[in-house]
Amino acid sequence: MAQPAPDTRYLDPKTLTKISRLDIIARLVVEGFVTGLHRSPYHGFSVEFAEHREYVPGDDIKHIDWKVYARSDRYYIKQYEEETNLTATILIDGSESMAYRGSTELPSKKDYACYVAASLVYLILRQRDAVGLTTFDESVRTFVPPGSSPSHRNLCLSALNELECRERTGLGPVLHSMAERVRRKGLIILISDLLDDPEAILAGLRHFRHRRHEVIVFHVLDHAERTFPFRSMTRFEGLERLGHVICDASALRAAYLEELEQHVGELRHGCRADRIDYVPIDTATPLDVALTSYLATRAGMKLS
């Protein structure tokens, strides 16, 4: 029998802006998404086979071992045990540009990034793996070492709740610093708007790859940054110690979008060249899309 689809209201950014507690958001997003995993090919990406047990009514028939049935004419279920050797480190950008949001109906880039980070923390700990979290701007601001206990979630969520966007971006130096600091090979997850020199960003990411980490980059941009909906004379306020400018937005639009596409393209191609998973995210994107990208990448790593 088909299972009911998850309540996707809890994956809608417009709905999430009305919920103040990050722990509730993470639980609703992950549990709502996990409910719908039956629709995805990525079953069992975090587990290994342990043993068989005899089938009893009510067991999911997809776990029946048909080879054993062919030999014994009896139904046996494959049981699994969860791996505990994954260590993930989440790096989340807290520079001033992350505070931007073009619409009050959508979360800021920082808030959306925190939704993604909190959901991943919840999901990784649910799998009994270890996760750490670092916030940064032009330098490392908060470092929560990896842990796997249930109480570790509160440490990570506390760091996210305290995150304030106030300084300039310094991605290159921060990535190099963290690559030296995170010594155990694992999974690195960067969540940022990546508004910095692409060459410096890619060099820092390559440092992680040189140390044999798997790397996933969530590139979070505001919906207005991606689409540039401005049409008339508009005052643009600079972030990260930049001034303001008043101009005819319609005359600027084509050049802006071309420049943005060039920036995104350089990052995308550079990540692919170094076998880094690049996940572009619009702040209007439902959270299940971001999580699907993450889970697909994890599934690929388990199968490789």
**Span 18-37, pLDDT tens digits:** 666 677 767 666 665 555 44
Q: Is 90:66 a contact under the CB 8 Å cutoff? A: no
Q: Which residue has the higher pLDDT, 77 or 221?
A: 221
Same domain for 276 and 176: yes
Q: Are 206 and 273 part of one and the same domain? A: yes
Which range is least confidently modeled, 10-19, 82-91, 279-288?
A: 10-19
Q: If you compute the radius of gyration of the chain from its CA atoms, what whole number of angstroms results?
A: 21
Query: At residue 190, does pLDDT exceed 90?
Result: yes
Q: Examine the domain organization and report whether 106 and 253 are in the same domain.
A: yes
pLDDT at 109 over 60: yes
- Are 142 and 240 contained in the same domain? yes
87/61: higher pLDDT: 87
In a domain, 287, yes or no: yes
Which neighbouring-strand residues pair with 79? 51
CA distance 169 to 91: 13
Q: In angstroms, rounded to a whole number, what is the distance separating the alpha carbons of residues 47 and 43?
A: 9
Q: Are residues 201 and 71 in the same domain?
A: no
Pick from 208, 210, 144, 198: nearest CA to 171: 198
How many separate domains does the chain show? 2
CB neighbourhood size of 108 (10 A): 19
pLDDT > 90 in the chain, percent: 37
- Residue 64 is predicted with a pLDDT of 80
Residues 180 and 253 in one domain: yes
178 lies in the same domain as 223 = yes
Answer whether residue 3 is part of any domain: no
Residue 267 inside a domain? The answer is yes
What span, in angstroms and rounded, lies between the C-alpha atoms of 110 and 107?
Answer: 8
Exposed, middle or buried: residue 147 (CB in 10 Å: 0-12, 13-18, 19+)?
middle
Contact 114, 145 (CB under 8 A): no
Counting Cβ atoms within 10 Å, is residue 262 exposed (0-12), middle (13-18) or buried (19+)? Answer: exposed
Instruction: Write out the residue range of the structural domain in which residue 73 sits.
Output: 47-82
Per-residue pLDDT band for 4 (boundaries 50, 70, 90) equals: very low
CB 129 within 8 Å of CB 121 = no
pLDDT tens per residue across span 131-165 = 999 999 999 999 999 998 878 888 999 999 999 88
Q: Is the pLDDT of residue 76 over 80?
A: no
Residue 88 maps to a domain = yes
Based on the domain organization, do 109 and 171 belong to the same domain? yes
Do 77 and 23 lie in one domain? The reply is no
**Is residue 135 within 8 Å of residue 141, measured between CB atoms?**
yes
- Residue in this structure with the two tokens 């191609």, named with its chain if needed: 269
Q: Which of 49-53, 76-80, 261-265 has the largest mean confidence? A: 261-265
Is there a domain that residue 55 lies in? yes
Which region among 76-85, 120-129, 147-156, 173-182 has the lowest average model confidence (pLDDT)? 76-85
127 and 29 inside one domain: yes
CATH code of the domain in which 282 resides: 3.40.50.410
Describe the chain by its helix, strand, coil percentages, rounded to 5: 45, 25, 30
- Alpha-carbon distances of 237 from 100, 160, 168, 234, 274, rounded to whole Å: 10, 26, 15, 10, 35
- Is position 215 within any domain? yes
Residues 59 and 27 both lie in one domain: no
pLDDT of residue 113: 93
In a domain, 7, yes or no: no
* pLDDT band, residue 169 (cuts 50/70/90): confident
Distance CA 204, CA 175 (A): 5
Residue 130 above 80 pLDDT? yes
Query: How far is the C-alpha of 169 from the C-alpha of 134, rounded, in Å?
Result: 14
CB 173 within 8 A of CB 245: no
For strands 187-192 and 214-221, give the pairing: parallel
Query: Closest by alpha carbon to 75, among 58, 50, 90, 100?
Result: 58
Q: What letters, b where the CB count within 10 A reaches 16 and e where it falls short, cover 213-224? A: bbbbbbbbbbbb
Tokens of 210: 């040189």
Note whether 100 and 75 are same-domain residues: no
Length reported for the chain: 304
Any domain includes 179:
yes
In this structure, the number of other CB atoms found within 10 A of the CB of residue 51 comes to 10
End-to-end CA distance of the chain: 32
